[in-house]
Amino acid sequence: MVVTVIIIILAGLIFVAVATGLRTAREATERQFVRNISTGVEQFKQAFKFYPPLVDDTTPLDTATKRILVQGDTGDGGLAALQYLQNPAQPRFSERSLPIFLAGVLGQEYDGVEGSGFLAPQPDGQFAKSGPRTDPFLDTSRDAERLARTGGDTIPAYRDRWNGAIRYYRWEPTKYPKGHPQFGETSSGNAPVLFGDPAGNAKLRDGGFAIVSAGRNQRIANSPPTADDNLDNIVELAQ
């Protein structure tokens, strides 16, 4: 009887250890995938001198004009879009920007290339009408199973291993204006609160981006990173 109890206890301990090890390994794999996406965004920035715009997930495409619709853009040359990125009250994330600007999932009528890849993107979210083709910044064949549509979505999203859409966050700092003693310096980092306090973090204070998987609990809250909903988040900030 005692031997049976000991065996049951040992089996339970082994099961817990194995389950914990598998969970840790899966999360490590997911962190690497999120890191790969972040590297793709950095490569995009190096190639084109700006970060991918935030696509409007609700209505990403104007099918009549074949334009890509960008959050905050009102056609004023980008001023409204910049103010949008500086506004902490706005969500400032997209689930469709990554497939469009890193994988080139749109058709030729939008990005100039049929199939993967695209012509040179512009800061307003549109693509050049002619010129050299750019290869995807992410391996579309290797990551094909990660690109998935749900419901009536016309554009896929990159999905984590828990089938949640991976988010691309963007923000821009506010600078002190001319005439101010600290002209040109950052007055407010404007980073989303879920990434923590920007005061001691230059990545947040100076503007940039983040790639976020909701993690095992599949919840992301507009709250500090210590909030219960954000404890499982897998976050990769701009380098």
More confident residue, 214 or 145: 214
Burial state string for 122-136 with b = 16 or more CB within 10 A and e = fewer than 16: ebebbbeeeeeebeb
Closest CA to 115 of 135, 86, 129: 135
Residue 201 sits at the vertex; the CA angle it makes with 193 and 199, to the nearest 5 degrees, is 70
User: How many angstroms separate the CA atoms of 34 and 138, rounded?
Assistant: 11
The helices-and-strands tally (H runs, E runs) of the chain is: 5, 10
The percent of residues in the chain predicted with pLDDT above 90, rounded, is 61
- Tell me what pLDDT residue 24 has: 57
CB 61 within 8 A of CB 110: yes
So what's the pLDDT on residue 25?
A: 66
What residue has token string 């409007």? Answer: 56
Condensed to tens digits (0 to 9), the pLDDT of residues 16-34 reads 554 455 455 678 889 999 9
- At 216, the pLDDT band (50, 70, 90 cuts) reads very high
What confidence tier does 13 reach under pLDDT thresholds 50, 70, 90? low
The whole-number average pLDDT for the span 206-220 is 93
Global confidence as pTM: 0.86
pLDDT > 90? residue 103: yes
| Residue scoring higher pLDDT (235 or 154) | 235
HSE-CB for 61 with a 13 A CA cutoff: 15
